[in-house]
Chains A and B, each alone.
Chain A
Amino acid sequence: METLINNLIASGLFGAKPSFDVVAAIVEFVAGAVVFLVVAMPFAGVVTWLERRVWARIQSRVGPNRVGPQGFLQWLADGLKNICKEDLIPAEADAPLFKLAPYLVMLAFILPWSVMPFSSSLILADLNVGVLFFTSVTALTVVGVLMAGWASNDKWSLIGGIRSAAQIVSYEIPAGLSIFPVVLMTGTLSMQGIIQAQGWAPQHWFVFANPFTFIAANVLFVSALAEGNRTPFDLPEAESELVAGFATEYSGMRYTFFFMAEWGNLFLIGALMTTLFLGGWRFPHVSDNVVVMNILELITFNVKVLAVVFVSMWIRGTLPRVRIDQLMTLCWKYLVPISFADMIGTAVWVAIWPDGNAFMGYLMFAGGLAVLAVFVRRVVYYVRRSRMELYFRPGI
């Protein structure tokens, strides 16, 4: 980044003697805008299409398949339609707060991209507190959501906003505690540092490092789903009770912002899981060419993130929404104690084997494969059973 700025100053693009800080600010602003426009927004859009296709298949439907090849451009059509709509502000709403809220939610969605480790070189800022920064700025969503709920001056919005606040604040605790095992094992909070402490092979990933990290990975995934307001924890926008929750009164572009942030959060969930537990961008060293390696690492990272995103869509298509008291029970009675036990367990584990236990990695990985095999057997069983049911009742 610094060489780039120095080169730009030397090229005379910004006049004779520009201040380094001004040029740096401009370059970073442009880089941020490019990341936002080229990566974050299209991803959030494409994910809406992907998600609708995945649900459709779960429900034996086809899903949107008319706009573009296999309906791929559906997100563009929806987005353009939404942006062209009138931006309504209710007469009784608190206009300045009402207008501001979507941008805060958007901010909480965009900020984590600055510490997103796409590959060994592709990272905007490798902060030494990267993970902490990541979790704290994603929790900023709650300000925007609560602001939207309050400023709308509408009972549904308010209930949605309050639910969201309660949910995000509660689930921040197990999420934070589940990051601890990894931090204990690596001794760093930097995203790149955590990834470099893992290997490219699955048995060297932290998810298989020991039983405690495996549980921590699952707890983190559940908490991240809850923080991202994803089904089965999408109480803030429960359609059957709250119309659209905190976004009830919004329309047009501001509504699009809310939902872009929500779907974009999926990428953040996937990126956090990938970085902490799934080996990040680690790829076997196959070439000495830095560019080739970076491209391979970028692909590895994105494939892993998309796998996690797919699982969260799959969960959304599987599980019904939980009740608010069940939500809180799950968090405070189950996830918090479990993640505390995890933390202590990992601390003991690290005290016994400071460099990790290589055998455990293989054992856990084999166990994971065994669970996968059992799962595939169940899937085959259900496919067979569905054929039998279809034979007897062709109408279903």
Chain B
Amino acid sequence: MGAFGSYVQNIKDAVATIFDGMAVTASHFVRKPYTVQYPDRMPVRVQDTLPFRYRGILEVDLEICTGCLACERACPIDCIVISCEKDPKTRSMVISQFDIDIAKCMFCGLCSEPCPTGSIHHTSEFEGADYSLESLIRRFVKEPVQAYKPKKGPETDPRIAPILSRGMRYINEFAQPGGEKPEDEAEG
């Protein structure tokens, strides 16, 4: 190929490659963008798409908390503070304080493993940004409540039964990850 041949070839190459390149980019006009418009323009909330055992911000179901302090002892950075005493009249445990400092929490999940009822558990909530450290302390006990006392048979109280079954499912998931398929992925 002579000099003129390669000259013409260069022009041909330039035109052909630009033509094809424009076709590639034009094909993107008819595709859907991949952008996820978090947080306000989502088809579903991100929280609802997360797995059951996702380690988000901690939460306590006081209805099924036995006041055993297992979580407080398990916590490696002492971000859980529980006060519980025996009521001399009714001879039952009363929880007067259950604070979790989310600012300190490192989401290790060691507290929810020893919980006998699955009362303390991670939620799928992760948007915890706030303006002060104090407001990150979650105080679950508003007024002293009686600790939960496990029954011999299945739970009969219709108010507590669903919470307990959910908690048991949660700790079973820890015992055998993926063993029992949860009925619904969504967090209640």
Contacts and interface: CB of A to CB of B under 8 A. Distances in A.
Interface string B18-36: 1111111111111101110
B31 A60 contact: yes
A59 B33 CA distance: 8
A318 B26 CA distance: 9
B19 A375 contact: yes
B37 interface: yes
Contact of A62 (B18, B19, B25, B35): B35
Contacts of B29: 57-58
A386 interface: yes
Interface stretch (A73-81, A88-96, A200-208, A376-384): A376-384
A61 B23 contact: no
B27 to A, nearest CB: 4
Nearest to B27: A382
Contacts of B21: 318-319
Given A56-B33, A57-B33, A386 B22 contact: no
Interface in A58-75: 58-62
B172 to A, nearest CB: 31
Given A62-B37, A334-B11, A383 B22 contact: no
B50 to A, nearest CB: 19
Given A58-B28, A60-B28, A378 B23 contact: yes
A58 B35 CA distance: 12
A314 interface: yes
Contacts of A380: 27
A140 interface: no
Contacts of B11: 334
A382 B34 contact: no
A386 B27 contact: yes
Interface residues of B, number: 20
B25 to A, nearest CB: 4
A386 B25 CA distance: 12
Interface residues of A, number: 21
B22 to A, nearest CB: 5
A378 B20 contact: yes
Nearest to B17: A319
Interface in B21-57: 21-31, 33-35, 37
A279 B77 CA distance: 76
A318 B27 contact: no
Contact of B26 (A62, A334, A379): A379
A59 B25 CA distance: 8
Contact of A382 (B10, B19, B23): B23
A65 to B, nearest CB: 8
Contact of A314 (B25, B30, B31, B35): B25
Given A378-B23, A379-B30, 13 more contacts: A58-B29, A59-B28, A60-B35, A62-B33, A314-B25, A317-B25, A318-B22, A318-B24, A334-B11, A378-B19, A378-B20, A379-B23, A380-B27
**Which 8 residue pairs across A and B have the least CB separation, nearest first?**
A378-B23, A382-B27, A62-B35, A318-B25, A383-B27, A379-B26, A58-B25, A62-B33
Interface of B: 10-11, 18-31, 33-35, 37
16 contacts: A56-B33, A57-B28, A57-B33, A62-B37, A314-B26, A315-B18, A315-B22, A318-B21, A318-B22, A375-B19, A379-B26, A379-B30, A382-B27, A383-B27, A383-B31, A386-B31
